[in-house]
Chain A
Amino acid sequence: MRRIKSIPAKGLKTPAGTTARTFILTFFSVLFSTAMAVRRFPKPEFETNYIQPSTQIPVPRAELLAYLDVFVLLVSLSIVTWLILKKRSRLWVFAMSVFSLAYFGFYREGCVCSIGAIQNVSLALFDNTFVLPLSVLLFFILPLVFTAFFGRTFCAAVCPFGAMQDFFAFKPQALSSRLNTVLGILPYLYLGLAVLFAATGTDFIICRYDPFVGIFRFNASFGMFLFSGILLLSGVFIARPYCRFLCPYGVLLNWTSRFSRRHLTITPKECIQCRLCEHSCPYDAIEVPVTSKSPESRPVRVRKMMILTVFVPFIVLVFGYAGSRMQDTLAGVDSRVKLAKEVMALSGKQDAGYGMQDAGYKMQDDSYEIKAYKASGKTESQVYSEASAVVKKFYIGGWLFGGFIGLAIALMIGGRIMPVYRTDYVTSKGRCFSCLRCVDYCPVKS
């Protein structure tokens, strides 16, 4: 329950200490720069004993509760990690995922979330007027820290998105390796775009296309529901489609998890090569034993590696260039650039502006953007220079974004040149969500 606090209209103080934490909600002092224009004026003098009601201003969710969320995150991360690494019980992990879905999903309504926190962090890095609450920073950092030690236990049962999709993986199908590879590029693109748009202050696209937030809130636009519906439906056949092929946070977790200290193993002891687990993973994250030698001889591999290494800067540059060419398309998402285009279209309409601006007539059917622009008193060139600053940012951002994608692809290729040798069935440390399905299949118990 949220409390509703009232503002004393005529300076009457509300009884102090009615609640443990009393906000002094004086709205009078807010933004008095605007009030300068409003001339002060007393209210009418009533003769009947009418008491002027006070303006009700509801109080937002208490700040302390944000730290409760962090606490719950920490505890559930610990429990889930323990369940995965020590208890090795799929059923308990499942139970925890129900809890996470209930708490982070339906109770906290999907907001604050680690995935979205990427954007807050990147915006805070580039815009020092942006406030990054500590709780949001912790939501970003904690899962990564856990992953660095124990693998992606966050994905297993703490992330409400993962939990939601896990429930709907009714008929998971194994995807071919090339599909997995090609679709695997998507999260890098999503991450790159999300950081680019966040850092330029354009938009938070992860939140804009948050697939489940509408379900968590039981309230969203029709389009958002449709979006969630389609994603969940595809998740019936392609398990956890968002986590595997979209989630930008997954990229970070993937790379962190590769170097994790104690990752989940399929078997607690020695693998008996029974191959029961081979198809148990709905996420195609089990690596088969490789005992045969690579068909490529060592010198060939070394040469390929060398070529790749030499070509990495080139690849990065090519992608960077391609990204920079996208500057207009990318910047077109930004509202400031959109406004500039509209303003330009408008001045184009008054057209090739032969003659002078007229004074007496008013344009009637302006869009609201144009109306607001006119009301703001900004000049045309101000709008343009603002937009061109944004476009410039996107030019640099386009290079970085493209370079990042190029680097990611080069690294992925490099990873597939490296020699491999393993005798056991293991989980792919990067892609494994630690859901423990394979463990259930393993006949070896501790």
Chain B
Amino acid sequence: MKQKIFIITGLVLLVGVIAIMLADLFSSKKADKANPYDYKMGELRKTDITCNGYIEQLTIKPALEEIHAVACGSGDRIYVAGKNGLEIYQVNGKPDGNFRFEGVASCMALDKKGRIFIGMQDHVEVFDQLGKPCNKWKSISTESLLTCIALTDSYVYLADAGKKIVYRYDMNGRLINRIGEKDPQKNVPGFIIPSPYFDLGIGKKGELWVANTGRHSLEQFSSDGALNSAWGEASMSADGFCGCCNPSHFAFLSDGSFVTSEKGIERVKIYSPQGKYVCMVAPPSAFVEGTKGLDLAVDSKDRIIVLDPEKKQVRIFVKK
């Protein structure tokens, strides 16, 4: 009798073990519960859709392998540059030419004569409208990483994220001066560029603005490097710049307002010339999560041209 009880106990336990194995192996239940350590990014990406003052009017899908830079030329033609080439589109998104070159364009600008200045990692190359090379500047340094190029009538401004400095060149590639070096006497705090996004732009009055992304601010310099003013605030909410280093790109509307783009929480926004938040152009939901490097351009009709490197599109937003 005792023996029987022992055997039965043993057997029941053994069968239990096998049953556990089989149940665990073949059960089709959801393998795991919710993540107890979830970082709910979705909440941050949600924005009030009603403050969205713009709609997407046109989408251009360039054929380039990678796209990194967008610019707007005469007749509001749209120039898109990226890996090994450049494409031109008409104002309505129709292709209007393209040419190829060697290298990855990281930034681009056009001068009055229609010459195309393309920044490639550590040097600048200049092409004419048909893609004929006009000039190739010397490499600045092996550590350089050019992330933005902007032109006035007589100067070329370059933002170098590798060296964390802005250069002023003449049109032929001769360095004139460096802007933004840390200088406590001149009250210049220096640029903090924690990631390879570093933009600059020429305002409507011809003044130089630089995005000091590590400080989440836009700073205005005189051409000789004096810091005149700055604005910007770090915040996850719509009115500030999110993440560790933003805005990643910016451009100007015709009234001098700023259009800014951010990574982390991908969004494109408009600030007044005084730096007050105005409205959202494209909310995070318009972009693939993790999109970085939304280059911006604005055409003469104040259409906002956003380069979306993740979707490989150039997206044009217009006011509602």
Contact = CB atoms under 8 A, between A and B. Distances in A.
Q: Are A and B in direct contact (Cβ within 8 Å)?
A: yes
B130 interface: no
Contacts of A238: 7, 10-11, 14
A341 B28 CA distance: 10
A173 interface: yes
B1 interface: no
A415 B243 CA distance: 73
A340 B49 CA distance: 34
Most buried by A among B11, B20, B194: B11
B226 interface: no
Contacts of B21: 209
Contacts of B17: 211, 227, 230-231, 234, 241
Interface in B1-27: 3, 6-7, 9-14, 16-18, 20-21, 24-26
Contact of B10 (A234, A332, A341): A234
A368 B25 contact: no
B10 A236 contact: yes
B52 to A, nearest CB: 11
Contact of A333 (B26, B35, B161): B26
B145 interface: yes
B20 A227 contact: yes
B63 interface: no
B14 A360 contact: no
Nearest to A40: B145
Contact of A173 (B10, B42, B192): B10
B134 interface: no
Contacts of B26: 329, 332-333
Interface stretch (A41-49, A96-104, A133-141, A421-429): A41-49
B28 A45 contact: no
A175 B4 CA distance: 10
A39 B198 CA distance: 13
Contacts of A298: none
B193 to A, nearest CB: 8
A234 B6 contact: no
A198 to B, nearest CB: 13
Interface in A91-115: none
B14 A234 contact: yes
B275 interface: no
Interface in B265-279: none
A367 interface: yes
B201 interface: no
Chain B facing A: main interface SS: helix
A175 B10 CA distance: 10
A173 B26 CA distance: 32
Given A41-B145, A361-B285, A332 B11 contact: no
A241 B285 contact: no
Contacts of B11: 179, 234, 238
A237 interface: yes
A117 to B, nearest CB: 20
Given A230-B13, A231-B17, A360-B285, A42 B6 contact: no
Interface string A364-403: 1001100000000000000000000000000000000000
A71 B21 CA distance: 33
A45 B164 contact: yes
Contacts of B162: 41-42
Given A333-B25, A333-B26, A42 B143 contact: yes
A39 B164 CA distance: 15
Contacts of A364: 42
Interface in A192-212: 205, 208-209, 211
B161 A237 contact: no
Given A42-B143, A233-B13, A333-B25, A368 B6 contact: no
A186 interface: yes
A361 B30 CA distance: 25
Most buried by A among B13, B24, B32: B13
Interface string B139-179: 00001010000000000000001101000000000000000
Given A40-B145, A367-B30, A230 B7 contact: no
Nearest to B161: A41
A171 interface: yes
Interface string B199-222: 000000000000000000000000
A234 B13 contact: yes
B58 interface: no
Contacts of A235: 10
Contacts of B3: 173
A173 B161 CA distance: 78
B286 interface: yes
B196 interface: yes
A42 B30 CA distance: 44
Given A205-B25, A360-B285, A368-B35, A241 B10 contact: yes
Interface string A326-367: 000100110000100100000000000000000011101001
B237 interface: no
Contacts of B9: 234, 237
B6 A362 contact: no
Most buried by B among A186, A360, A364: A360
A171 B164 CA distance: 77
Contacts of B42: 362, 364
A233 B9 CA distance: 9
7 contacts: A41-B145, A175-B7, A186-B18, A230-B20, A234-B10, A234-B16, A362-B285
Given A39-B196, A42-B162, A208-B25, 18 more contacts: A41-B145, A41-B196, A44-B194, A45-B164, A173-B3, A186-B18, A205-B25, A230-B20, A231-B14, A233-B13, A234-B12, A234-B13, A234-B14, A237-B7, A241-B14, A329-B26, A362-B42, A362-B285
Across the A-B interface, the 7 shortest Cβ-Cβ residue pairs: A234-B13, A237-B10, A238-B10, A237-B6, A39-B196, A234-B14, A234-B10
Interface of A: 39-42, 44-45, 171, 173, 175, 179, 183, 186, 205, 208-209, 211, 227, 230-231, 233-238, 241, 245-246, 329, 332-333, 338, 341, 360-362, 364, 367-368
